[in-house]
């Protein structure tokens, strides 16, 4: 629960659009971003309700508005998903994402009425796309892999899915002159319309969506090379690299040259050990303060044993709640996540490969975002030295691969 102020209303994000317009992709991305920022967020996908209740065997005719049984069942499941979403918000959730076609104006009015009567704010996010290449790519990449078409010949499955889209298109009414709060995404990034959007979280969603695109490029995360403090087991500080640390800087530069088909963007923190790790790179790195290591405040420069012996309460408090524990005059992981938000937005915006050279705590926080995990699940995760974590965008998330670089390679 992370409402900005006690009177902030829970938010319902209602997705709108024909099938194969990227609604699920958009919904999941928004959910991942808001969850990472600490908002309790959940997606309610009507397709999952259908599969759970009726199985995966239903074919296109069932989705025709004139199919009485199909229409009744779909309407009932839409109601059930919305009821669950509202129950989630009543139970303390911050944001519920309603992933269904919500194709008609009447339907959207009904959803808006139901949510506002429960004290929720509602924002519609409509995805419009008429580009046949994008639609076909979406069908091939996501729909044909859906459990609905497991074991079905891909051509047959694609035909069936196109017929399903046609049924929906016959009744579809795009959002137009509706007195609603909405964001319209046209051709996935070509044009965006923002109408009556108010509030902190809806504003964040707008800026997040403005930076999304469909270009596939890797994100490489790595720690700086070994530093003098790492050798001594001391935290924080601004030490130089060791000789092995510099060897890593060299092999990392080689890795980047080898792997980059297009020139990458290279970002590092402002701390010496990170800047030095980029010094052999083919391109100059951009230094971000936001990428600096967690500020250990009065514990900066100490070893963990020294903290435990000299400041046992601090040591115990941190062990009890690592996410929220703030070092005296320093930072918590929750603080680090807040300051990393612009890095996430900028990474999403980039269409070139991105290399981020940073520090253990910062990389754990970034990794949680890219792998869609709660930050608290990553706070003790190992991020080994001399290793590049490669994250490549897939249809719904990032696929991971690790490259361990040989210092003598
Ligand atoms: O030990 C290296 C280091 O980057 C420190 O500078 C930093 O305080 C620490 O790791 C973060 O890890 P943890 O949150 O587990 O203490």
Q: Rounded distance, CA 35 to CA 226, Å?
A: 32
How many domains, the chain? 2
57-80 per-position pLDDT tens digit: 777 888 888 888 888 989 999 999
**Domain co-membership, 18 together with 162:** yes
Copy the structure tokens of residue 177. Answer: 């002159």
201-259 per-position pLDDT tens digit: 999 999 999 998 888 899 999 999 999 999 999 999 999 999 999 999 999 999 999 99
* Nearest residue (CA) to ligand 1, atom 11: 361
The active-site residue out of 115, 160, 224, 348 is 224
Q: Among candidates 170, 139, 173, 164, which has minimal Cα distance to 17?
A: 173
Residue 384 has pLDDT above 90, yes or no: yes
360, 365, 379, 382, best to mutate for ligand 1 pocket (most atoms within 8 Å of CB): 360
**What pLDDT sits at residue 327?**
98
Phi, psi dihedrals of residue 285, rounded to the nearest 5°:
-85, 150
Q: Residue 5 domain-assigned? A: no
* Nearest residue (CA) to ligand 1, atom 7: 235
**Domain co-membership, 120 together with 183:** yes
Q: Among candidates 56, 63, 93, which has minimal Cα distance to 78?
A: 63
- CATH number of the structural domain spanning residue 71: 3.40.50.300
* Nearest residue (CA) to ligand 1, atom 15: 380
Residue 401 has pLDDT above 90, yes or no: yes
**Domain co-membership, 140 together with 253:** no
CB of 217 within 8 A of CB of 390?
A: no
CB of 274 within 8 A of CB of 224?
A: yes
**Domain co-membership, 260 together with 189:** no
- CATH number of the structural domain spanning residue 393: 3.40.50.1240
Q: Which domain holds residue 359?
A: 219-404
What pTM, to 2 d.p., does this model score?
0.93
Query: Tokens 């923190």 map to which residue?
Result: 269
């Amino acid at each position: 629960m992370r409402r900005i102020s006690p009177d902030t209303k829970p938010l319902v994000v209602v997705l709108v659009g024909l099938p194969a317009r990227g609604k699920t992709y958009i919904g999941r991305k928004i959910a991942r971003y808001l969850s990472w920022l600490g908002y309790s967020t959940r997606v309610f996908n009507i397709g999952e309700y259908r599969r759970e209740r009726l199985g995966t065997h239903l074919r296109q005719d069932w989705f025709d508005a004139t199919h009485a049984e199909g229409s009744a069942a779909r309407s009932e499941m839409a109601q059930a998903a919305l009821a669950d979403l509202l129950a989630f918000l009543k139970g303390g959730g911050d944001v519920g994402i309603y992933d269904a076609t919500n194709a008609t104006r009447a339907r959207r009015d009904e959803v808006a009425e139901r949510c506002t009567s429960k004290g929720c704010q509602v924002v519609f996010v409509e995805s419009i796309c008429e580009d046949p290449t994008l639609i076909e790519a979406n069908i091939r990449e996501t729909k044909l892999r859906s459990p609905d078409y497991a074991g079905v010949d891909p051509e047959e499955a694609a035909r069936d899915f196109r017929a399903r889209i046609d049924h929906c298109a016959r009744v579809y009414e795009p959002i137009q002159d509706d007195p609603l709060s909405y964001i319209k995404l046209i051709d996935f990034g070509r044009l965006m319309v923002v109408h009556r959007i108010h509030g902190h979280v809806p504003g964040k969603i707008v800026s997040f969506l403005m930076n999304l695109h469909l270009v596939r490029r890797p994100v490489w995360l790595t720690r700086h090379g070994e530093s003098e403090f790492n050798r001594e087991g001391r935290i924080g500080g601004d030490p130089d690299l060791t000789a092995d640390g510099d060897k890593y800087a060299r092999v990392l530069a080689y890795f980047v040259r080898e792997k980059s088909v297009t020139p990458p963007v290279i970002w590092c923190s402002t701390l010496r050990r990170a800047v030095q790790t980029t010094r052999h790179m083919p391109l100059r790195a951009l230094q971000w303060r936001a990428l600096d290591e967690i500020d250990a405040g009065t514990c900066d420069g100490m070893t963990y044993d020294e903290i435990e012996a000299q400041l046992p309460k601090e040591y115990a408090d941190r062990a009890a709640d690592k996410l929220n524990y703030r070092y005296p005059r320093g930072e918590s992981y929750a603080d680090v996540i807040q300051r990393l938000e612009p890095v996430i937005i900028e990474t999403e915006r980039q269409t070139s490969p991105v290399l981020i050279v940073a520090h253990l705590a910062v990389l754990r926080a970034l990794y949680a975002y890219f792998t869609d995990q709660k930050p608290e699940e990553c706070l003790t995760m190992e991020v080994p030295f001399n290793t590049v974590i490669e994250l490549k965008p897939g249809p719904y998330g990032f696929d991971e691969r690790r490259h361990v670089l040989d210092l003598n390679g």
